[in-house]
Amino acid sequence: MRPAFRYASAAAALMVVFGWLTLGPPRSLALADVIKAAEQHSLVRFQATQTTDDRETRLTASGVRTVYVDIRVPRVREEEGHKTFNGILDFRYTAVYDYRRDRFLALVTHAQVMTRDQAKDEHQRRLIDMVEQRGLAKKEAILSRIAWTKTDDIPPMSLLGKDRGFLDTLRQLQADQTTLTTRATLDGRDVVKYRRRADHTTTSVWVNPTTKLPIRVEIEVIDPTPRIARNEWVYTDFEWDPDVADPERLFSTDPPAGFRVEDHTTEAQK
């Protein structure tokens, strides 16, 4: 039920950013500044765009999600949405990863947004009939353990550890010795850019030197699989402590009312 298009969780961007600020005494000070700045916040939100080049189809696919990360507790929420079925259905997908509880929740909603008398032509009217006859407008929730969730298309540095929080992970990355640091400009302003190449993966991070917080992250993986020539994740529009009415509800893995639930948390691992 989950879309083939998945993004790295927010942890990828932030863990790599902060870990790569350390190379010798100057970077140790910079990393301390980054950790100190992050400690002043509890939540971050950004836009994640994934682009995939498929050798088999010779097509490039791209999509965008909104990602929320709990800074202190290993929890991530991803949201995406668009019109589908020739504009007849409104598709919404939400994924919540709570590593502390080893729970993954996926919410998939298809809401009918067009009636037969609103159809532009006979083709749309036939599709609307199909939607109504087959009950394609529905709400479904899938609950499972994170360890049982497919993650083969997520960047290797993307997941938070089950038994460690976000800031703990930042501190564990201080030993990274492979990043180049340069002064750069981004959208007309001076920034610090960190770039690291490891095997087939290149990660570039732009940090605001005033706030010590990331403002853009790019992760490119060449030849991740025989079929995929390139995967790229770009994180932009960072907002620290965005206005969220109830963060606990935001990261809740309890299926909401009105959803048909598939609960796989008690199944034996196959």
Q: What is the CATH number of the domain that holds 243?
A: 2.50.20.10
233 versus 155: the higher-pLDDT residue is 233
pLDDT in tens, 217-235: 888 889 888 888 998 989 8
Task: Quote the CA–CA distance of 238 and 235 in Å, as a whole number.
Answer: 8
- 256 touches 140 (CB < 8 A): no
pLDDT score at 180: 72
pLDDT in tens, 198-214: 788 887 878 888 888 88
Q: Is 122 inside a domain boundary?
A: yes
pLDDT band at 171 (very low <50, low <70, confident <90, very high): low
Could you give the C-alpha distances from 193 to 166, 199, 212, in angstroms and in order?
A: 22, 20, 12
- The mean pLDDT value of the chain amounts to 76
Q: Is 82 inside a domain boundary?
A: yes
Q: Is 2 inside a domain boundary?
A: no
Q: Is 184 inside a domain boundary?
A: yes
Q: Is 4 inside a domain boundary?
A: no
The string of DSSP codes covering 193-237 is EEEEEETTEEEEEEEETTTTEEEEEEEEEE-SSSSEEEEEEEEEE
Which amino acid makes up residue 144? S
Q: Which residues pair with 98 in a beta bridge?
A: 75, 103
Q: Is 205 inside a domain boundary?
A: yes
pLDDT band at 257 (very low <50, low <70, confident <90, very high): very high
Which pTM does this prediction carry? 0.75
- 194 touches 202 (CB < 8 A): no
Domain that residue 129 falls in: 10-263
- 174 touches 20 (CB < 8 A): no
* 15, pLDDT greater than 80: no
Q: Is 71 inside a domain boundary?
A: yes
pLDDT score at 14: 42
Q: Is 229 inside a domain boundary?
A: yes
Number of domain units in the chain: 1
